[in-house]
Amino acid sequence: MRAQKSVKKRFNIILDESTQEYLVAAARERNISTSELIRELINGMKQKENQRLLREAALSLYDIYAADKELTEFTSLDGEDYL
C-alpha cells in the first residue's frame, strides 16, 4: 500500500522582528528550516490538544466505568496470554 502524500499550502503570517529572529535561531540550532520548525510547533500543539481531549473523555466516563461491574468483569485477566 502506498503512503498518502500530504498536500502543503502556503500560509503567510506577520511577526515582529524579535520573534522572527528567535525562530530563525531556533531552526538553525535544530538544523531545519523555519517553516519546518513552525510545522513541528503546530503539530506539538495539536498532539497536546488531542491528549487533553482524551483525558477529559476518560475522566467523564470514569464514574460510569467504576460503578458498572460488567465493565470491569475481566480486569483480572489483564496481562494474561490468550493463546
Q: What is the pLDDT of residues 37-50, one digit of tens each?
A: 999 999 999 999 99
**How many domains does the structure of the chain reveal?**
1
Task: Supply the pLDDT for residue 64.
Answer: 82
pLDDT at 29 over 90: yes
Does residue 67 lie within any of the structural domains?
Answer: yes
Does residue 81 lie within any of the structural domains?
Answer: no
- Residues in CB range of 32: below 8 A, 6 or more apart: 40
Task: Supply the pLDDT for residue 27.
Answer: 98
Q: Which of 13, 33, 14, 11 is nearest to 24 (CA)?
A: 33
Domain that holds residue 41: 17-76
* Helices 34-67/17-30 angle, 10° precision: 80
Distance CA(13)–CA(46), nearest Å, equals 19
pLDDT in tens, 74-83: 666 666 666 5
User: Residue 2: helix, strand or coil by DSSP?
Assistant: coil
Does residue 27 lie within any of the structural domains?
Answer: yes
pTM over 0.85: no
Does residue 34 lie within any of the structural domains?
Answer: yes
Q: Which three cell numbers stand for residue 44?
A: 506539538
